[in-house]
Amino acid sequence: MLRLSGLLAALALLVGPAGAQTDALPETNESLFAPLALPAPNAYRNADGRPGHAYWQNRNDYEIEVALDPATHTVSGTVRLTYTNNSPQPLDHVWMHLEQNLFAPDSRGARRTPPDSRWRGSFAEGGYRLGAVTADGEAVTPVIDDTRMRIDLPEALAEDGGRVEIVVPYSFVIPEYGADRMGRLETERGTVYELAQWYPRVAVYDDVSGWNALPYLGQGEFYLGYGDFEYSITAPSSLTVVGTGELLNEREVYTATQRERLAEARRSIERVRIITPDEVGTPAAHHGDGMTTWRFRAENVRDIAWAASEAFILDAATASVDLGDGDTNDVLIMSAYPHEGVGTPDNPGWEDATRFGRGSILNNSRWYPYPYPVAISVAGVVGGMEYPMFQFSGVGARFMSLFGVIDHELGHNWFPMIVGSDERRYAWMDEGFNSYLNTFSNVTFYDENEDPTIAGYGQSDQARVIRLTEGPAAADFMQQPYSADQPIVTYPDRIRPQALGWLAYRKPAKGLLLLRNEVVGPERFDAAFREYIERWAYKHPQPADFFRTIEDVTGEDLDWFWRGWFYTTDTFDQALTALTVADGFASASVENRGGIVLPTTVEFTFSDGSTATAVIPAEAYFSTDAAGARVSLDGRTLVSARLNPSGDAPDADPSNDARDL
């Protein structure tokens, strides 16, 4: 925790040089504390981290109609894109993403992905089959390169509001395992289809990179614009379909009994069974025979996903999110899962998923109120993947690991669904920020539910941000095998696969925890983090926008922190080099031996068992590797001192952190 000046004064803290210093300025300090070279502010992005007065972003609205054929595992239909150019430049072409082409046998991603990789999925029939493409009704001949398609427009799209309608007929065979982001799972009672990256979609054109048309290689995720979606899924009536957004034709797709149960769920904070386990596979589970069309609408989102199965057990409840001023958003929390997802009394499974989803939405809404009408979790072949209002998790997940993955994937509704960062380049801006949120929602959820196994919440992958980086295990943090290879800001497709979890999730999350607890303090950091979400909700921030917002709200120059933690592979190592007593004071000398600087907490211990704590600010290392701290003895006898008494700082060599007098 950050020790405030009042506490330090009470302890009679004096911080200063630790004795004679060399005249030469340490090179590492000069470079570490130099100004960080961020992009120059302009009319689109302010120096204080806000969107500029001329900020713009283009808009993409979709109408999609598809049919699912379970006999051939095929999706076929048409996407109709209305693309609005709000930029100050006319556009003579449009780039679109064709992510299903990743699964073609000869795709770039297939050629670089080992057969046992998490991002595998290519097969003989993989990839899109496209029909005749039109732009404003005129036939065009697109240029297709792997997972990208360029459409040269018959007429340039005017700046400041020009629109074009692009229509693409398409079909594809659903891969069995689609890079751990979509696919299909055979269960005892039917196939579970999890559909994502399921329609050709426009790339982002922005003020920083122009067209963002980096190929989809599997490891890097997505950068998408905002718009409204109206879409329909036609499937055999025996299948239940759930999808992003509001279901528009509930009376046409659910039975009268199911609609009564849904009405009950909208009034209940406890789980209500919409389709019970006993009803799965019987006429009671579906509305009519033949084919059924499910219609959905999602407003101001960057993507949509859906799932379908005749094997689904369907649960629901409601979470009332406080919007302020007495208003609430009553969110329908839903879970769809096959019988294989059900656990046991000792090891519960997906029967608890609705409770877990509700806890996640409510806990994460402390940062920014959840704005959407639904939050849906689906069990299937995908281990964990996020979409607006929607997430896929593994059917075999149980209890705490299930809460962990649901909380993480639903947490992505804040990053990158509300705050629309560029995942293809900056995975840490969604995975790292979301993992940071998970450290709070894990603790809060289990504390509120008085779960006797609270100590085990660290079983959650994301909660390891706390479990592995605070207390005794913190010393191992900077010694992880991936720490020295690549910095956090490395593009995700260029990160070694085994290091992705480290660089995109845990290290950035730990950095935010350090910034909050050790550098600026919870009150200022929490305010800054909320302000970042508020400023960039439904927009496209860059790293500099985040850094500048945090500095603007906290009032701190943090270039040294951003550089050390995010842009380098340096380690953190501080050493207690001397301990002395003189003139009624206990004094400690400290050296900063790593490339990363943090404030130094020194705890002095006295013979009567009492302690006194002093904090050396990071600024003490501006021009020296050595600093010192002292506290008043107040008649006591000094016994020892140590650095980092909480164990939270990730010191690479704790053996030099303590000294006896």
pLDDT digits (tens, 9 = 90+) for 133-144: 999 999 999 999
Domain membership of residue 71 (yes or no) is no
Residues contacting residue 522 through CB under 8 Å, at least 6 positions apart = 1, 2, 516
Nearest to 429 by CA among 321, 506, 543: 543
Q: φ, ψ for residue 55 (rounded to 5)?
A: -55, 140
Q: For residues 463 and 458, what is the distance between their CA atoms, to the nearest angstrom?
A: 5
**Lookup: tokens for 178:** 């689609």
Number of Cβ within 10 Å of residue 325's Cβ equals: 5
Quick one: pLDDT at residue 9?
Answer: 37
Task: Read off the pLDDT of residues 421-431 as tens digits, 9 standing for 90 and up.
Answer: 999 999 999 99
Domain membership of residue 114 (yes or no) is no
Yes or no: say if 174 and 193 are a contact pair by the CB < 8 Å rule.
Answer: yes
Task: Read off the pLDDT of residues 527-583 as tens digits, 9 standing for 90 and up.
Answer: 999 999 999 999 999 999 999 999 999 999 999 999 999 999 999 999 999 999 999
The whole model's pTM is what?
0.92
pLDDT class for 630, splitting at 50, 70, 90? very high
Quick one: pLDDT at residue 480?
Answer: 62
Quick one: pLDDT at residue 484?
Answer: 64
Whats the size of the chain, residue-wise? Answer: 661
Look-up: residue for tokens 């075999």?
A: 396
Select, from the ranges 115-119, 255-259, 283-287, the one with the highest average predicted confidence (pLDDT).
Answer: 255-259
Domain membership of residue 276 (yes or no) is no
Domain membership of residue 614 (yes or no) is no
pLDDT mean across residues, the chain: 92
Quick one: pLDDT at residue 30?
Answer: 78
Total domains in the chain come to 1
List the strands of the sheet with 182-187, edge to edge. Answer: 177-178, 182-187, 190-195, 306-309, 240-243
Give the burial string for 610-625 (b: 16+ CB within 10 Å, else e). Answer: ebbbbbbebebbeebb
Quick one: pLDDT at residue 4?
Answer: 38
Give the burial string for 424-433 (b: 16+ CB within 10 Å, else e). Answer: bbbbbbbbbb
Yes or no: say if 428 and 504 are a contact pair by the CB < 8 Å rule.
Answer: yes
Determine the average pLDDT of the residues in 185-213: 99
Domain membership of residue 187 (yes or no) is no
Fill in the amino acid letter for 605: T
Q: What is the maximum alpha-carbon separation in the chain?
A: 92
Nearest to 28 by CA among 651, 593, 653: 593
Yes or no: say if 314 and 261 are a contact pair by the CB < 8 Å rule.
Answer: no
| 3-class DSSP string for 547-600 | HHHHHHHHCCCCHHHHHHHHHCCCCCCEEEEEEEEECCEEEEEEEECCCCCCCE
Give me the percent of the chain exceeding a pLDDT of 70: 90
pLDDT of 462 strictly over 80:
no
Q: For residues 307 and 192, what is the distance between their CA atoms, to the nearest angstrom?
A: 7
DSSP letter at 35 equals P
Give me the percent of the chain exceeding a pLDDT of 90: 86
Domain membership of residue 622 (yes or no) is no
pLDDT of 459 strictly over 80:
no
> Which helix (H) or strand (E) element contains residue 150?
strand 148-157
Q: φ, ψ for residue 543 (rounded to 5)?
A: -50, -45
Quick one: pLDDT at residue 483?
Answer: 59
Task: Read off the pLDDT of residues 226-243 as tens digits, 9 standing for 90 and up.
Answer: 999 999 999 999 999 999
Task: Read off the pLDDT of residues 54-96 as tens digits, 9 standing for 90 and up.
Answer: 999 999 999 999 999 999 999 999 999 999 999 999 999 999 9
- What is the residue range of 457's domain? 447-567
Domain membership of residue 483 (yes or no) is yes
Yes or no: say if 375 and 389 are a contact pair by the CB < 8 Å rule.
Answer: yes
Domain membership of residue 310 (yes or no) is no
Determine the average pLDDT of the residues in 278-301: 96
Task: Read off the pLDDT of residues 512-539 as tens digits, 9 standing for 90 and up.
Answer: 999 999 999 999 999 999 999 999 999 9
Determine the average pLDDT of the residues in 465-486: 56
Q: Is the peptide bond before 416 cis (omega within 30 degrees of 0)?
A: yes
Yes or no: say if 219 and 119 are a contact pair by the CB < 8 Å rule.
Answer: yes
pLDDT class for 288, splitting at 50, 70, 90? confident
Q: Which is more confident, 220 or 453?
A: 220
